Amino acid sequence: MKAVTTEHHRAHDVRDEVYLGVPIPAHEVVQRAGIIKGALVADGGFDLVEPTEHGELPILAVHDRGLLRFLEEAWGEVRRQAIGRQSLVADTYPSLAMFEGMSREAIAKLREPAAIGGRAGWWGLDSSNPIVPGTYEAARWAVDVALTAVDLVLGGERTVYGLCRPPGHHAARSMAAGYCFFNNAAIAAEAIVRATGERVAILDVDYHHGNGTQQIFWRRGDVLYASIHGDPMRVYPFFLGHADEVGEGDGVGMNVNLPLPAEAGDELYLEALDRALEAINATPGSIVVVSLGFDTYRDDPIGDFALTRAAYAEAGRRVAALGRRLVILQEGGYHLPSLGKNAVAWLRGVEPVG
Ligand SMILES: [Zn+2]
């Protein structure tokens, strides 16, 4: 199996994140990608490929230009505005309630502030997502990893893994969030739709609901989004991810949320996976984008599921049994000692030999 990896992710070297108002050691760290890459090399069955640059256009097919410009300019503005911090973390985010009663016209006049702290709130959701000097560089390369994986699959590869870091599925059209800046999986899916004219399914098996991917394709009839995740009544991203969110307009029925309770184990999880795969089977198309996360693991410090490694191998087998080509992109997973073995188990489940 070809695996697209790059060392450029190292530029996004985050040390702390803010959780419930208090700085804690970051979970989404540089070591994550190195551990997975090391496990792929040790396995011997993966052909490592460098990404190629794809420019801004595929990103702008999915994201607001303002988000791209903000991320590009953010660190330079931190320095120009003499903010004496190691990273940029907003503390003021627009709430829906702030604009209650205002007309559509009045809301349309709202504008991005000039102060970089305000800009970070304008384009952000939460404080777990610090921007450091190399964030933009790394986030751009993560998109290129995803798009190179797409190129390889469109070129005839059956299954390609893209080791994206930073991850992407919380990033919406106009919002960075939850360790994510650009939505790698959504950009990949959009590129596939445009290249093939086919419908595309996105299977999101990260522990968290991919609110960004859901938002981007909410009204789209040509992209199916199916996600298995911790119930948002209990966990991040809190405000989206419920089972009754099914899409609107052309997208009705093309959004499938499967929230699970705490301590969900292999059996419950694989049942939910079967339901997601049924929805994908019922949708035409030949390519599936997988948002792959291992924060579902029983020892993960963020997630509260109880999956074992055996479930990952089985999940890989069941996804492969769809008989579709796969663009598999890395999202979360924060238990460093297990991360590499879990990734190899899942990918080897898909493709046992070679
Ligand atoms: Zn996650």
84, two tokens? 């004496």
Q: What pLDDT shows up at residue 354?
A: 54
Is 63 annotated as catalytic?
A: no
Distance of CA 295 from the midpoint of ligand 1 (Å):
6
Please give the model's pTM, rounded to 2 decimal places.
0.98
Distance of CA 205 from the midpoint of ligand 1 (Å):
9
Q: Kindly report, residue by residue over 288-319, the tens digit of the pLDDT.
A: 999 999 999 999 999 999 999 999 999 999 99
Q: Kindly report, residue by residue over 148-190, the tens digit of the pLDDT.
A: 999 999 999 999 999 999 999 999 999 999 999 999 999 999 9
Q: HSE (CB half, 13 Å, CA atoms) of 224? A: 22
Distance of CA 333 from the midpoint of ligand 1 (Å):
6
pLDDT category of residue 21 using cuts at 50, 70 and 90:
confident
Distance of CA 101 from the midpoint of ligand 1 (Å):
35
Q: Report how far residue 217's alpha carbon sits from residue 250's, in angstroms, rounded to the nearest whole number.
A: 10
**Of the candidates 321, 264, 267, 268, which has an alpha carbon nearest to the alpha carbon of residue 296?**
264
The amino acid sitting at 21 is G
Q: Report how far residue 345's alpha carbon sits from residue 22's, in angstroms, rounded to the nearest whole number.
A: 35
Q: Report how far residue 242's alpha carbon sits from residue 306's, in angstroms, rounded to the nearest whole number.
A: 21
Q: Kindly report, residue by residue over 22-67, the tens digit of the pLDDT.
A: 999 999 999 999 999 999 999 999 999 999 999 999 999 999 999 9
The arithmetic mean of pLDDT across residues 9-22, rounded, is 94
142, two tokens? 């993560």
Cα-Cα-Cα-Cα dihedral sign, residues 46, 293, 342, 271: negative
Q: Report how far residue 156's alpha carbon sits from residue 181's, in angstroms, rounded to the nearest whole number.
A: 29
| Proportion of the chain above pLDDT 70, given as a percent | 99
Q: What pLDDT shows up at residue 240?
A: 98
Q: Kindly report, residue by residue over 220-254, the tens digit of the pLDDT.
A: 999 999 999 999 999 999 999 999 999 999 999 99
Contact 190, 202 (CB under 8 A): no
Distance of CA 334 from the midpoint of ligand 1 (Å):
9
Catalytic residue among 9, 54, 63, 170: 170
34, two tokens? 């190195």
**Of the candidates 156, 160, 159, 130, which has an alpha carbon nearest to the alpha carbon of residue 145?**
160
Q: Kindly report, residue by residue over 93-103, the tens digit of the pLDDT.
A: 999 999 999 99
Cβ < 5 A residues, ion ligand 1 = 206-208, 293, 295, 332
Contacts made by residues 269-276, CB under 8 angstroms, sequence distance 24+: 269/228, 269/296, 269/305, 269/307, 269/311, 269/315, 270/311, 270/314, 270/315, 270/318, 272/228, 273/205, 273/228, 273/315, 273/318, 273/319, 274/318, 276/203, 276/226, 276/227, 276/228
Distance of CA 120 from the midpoint of ligand 1 (Å):
21
The arithmetic mean of pLDDT across residues 184-201, rounded, is 98
Cα separation values, 7 from 39, 139, 185, Å: 15, 12, 20
Distance of CA 171 from the midpoint of ligand 1 (Å):
12
The H or E element that residue 295 is part of is: none
330, two tokens? 């890395």
Question: Which H, E and C letters describe 209-247, residue by residue?
Answer: CCHHHHHHHCCCCCEEEEEEEECCCCCCCCCCCCCCCCC
